[in-house]
Structure formats: structure tokens, C-alpha cells
Amino acid sequence: MPRVRMIDEIEMAFPGQVDAFEHIVASRGKMLKPYAAMLHRPEVARAAADLGSVIRYQGSMSDRDRELVILTTAVERDCQFEISIHSELARSAGVSEDTLDSVFHRTPVEDTTDAELVDFVRELCRSDKVTDAVFEQCRSRLGEEGVVELAATIGYYSMLALFMNACEVC
């Protein structure tokens, strides 16, 4: 059971909630649990949803790479909500079962292309830093814009995971 009340359309008490609710539903097609919990602070819910839209739908990473990064972040942050959603999205986007097993079990990834991204996520989530070698591998592969997007994606999904874990939004 969530630690904070999930705000639905009927419970909205002031105009800021209504505006944020309508904005999020228009961008997502429905209200999602993290944002329903964030609606206690509608400006936070709206800003989070807007950043999520940029990362998920306007980024330069392939769907496959993005889903691998999101799923690895969710696993590293122990966020069951995001793991359940993004494990299926990663499969659908073409992430191999071997790579998924390595992500879930936190073991080394054999596929060198996947390993670069997974290593970046793991280093950042575990130590709040990325070694020069791993950073340069990802910059070489993704370019400067891509590595910025990679770090921002990890940051965004870390924020969501920490919020959902703190509020027990499952």
C-alpha cells in the first residue's frame, strides 16, 4: 500500500492539480502511478512527466538501448514498479535474454555493446561516478549529446525509483 494517497480525477482539490492531471493524461494517454502520487505537488508531477516525455519519446538513443538503460537503472535502484514495466519493453525492443539475465542477476554482461551501457549505469548508480574508461567508451559510441542523454536518463529513472521506493508506490 502506498505511503501517500494516489490522487485521482475525483480527489483533486485545487486548480493546479487539475491542470497537471490533464497535462499528464494528454501526454501519456492515462495517469500513471508515479505522477498520481506526485500530484500532491502538481508542479513536481508536471515537471517530472515533461522530463520523462523528453527522455522516452524525444531522445536519440534507440528504443533497445534506452530500455536497457532504464531497466538496468530500475534493477540497480531496486524499483519493482519500473522493473516490471521495462523488462517487457526491453524484451520487445530486442534486448537478449542473456543480457536481461545478467542485468537481473547483476552479473557481467557478455555482449560488449550492451556491457558498455550496463557498466555506465552500474557505475553511476553504485558510486555516483563513472570511470574515465567507461565514460569514453559510451561517448565514443553515442557522441557527446548521447552521453548527456544517457546520464540524464539514468538520473531521471533514479529519481522516479527513489520517489516510488520512498512512497512505496508499487
| pLDDT tens digits along 102-140 | 999 999 999 999 999 999 999 999 999 999 999 999 999
| pLDDT tens digits along 136-162 | 999 999 999 999 999 999 999 999 999
Classified by CATH at the fold level, domain 63-167 comes out as: AhpD-like (1.20.1290)
Q: How far apart, in whole angstroms, are the C-alpha atoms of residue 8 and residue 36?
A: 7
Check: pTM over 0.75? Answer yes or no.
yes
Helix (H) or strand (E) holding 116: helix 112-127
| pLDDT tens digits along 12-70 | 667 788 889 889 999 888 988 899 999 999 999 999 999 999 998 999 999 999 999 99
pLDDT at site 110: 95
DSSP H helical ranges for the chain: 15-28, 33-38, 42-57, 63-76, 80-93, 97-105, 112-127, 132-167
Domains of the chain, residue spans: 15-57, 63-167
Amino acid letter, 69? V
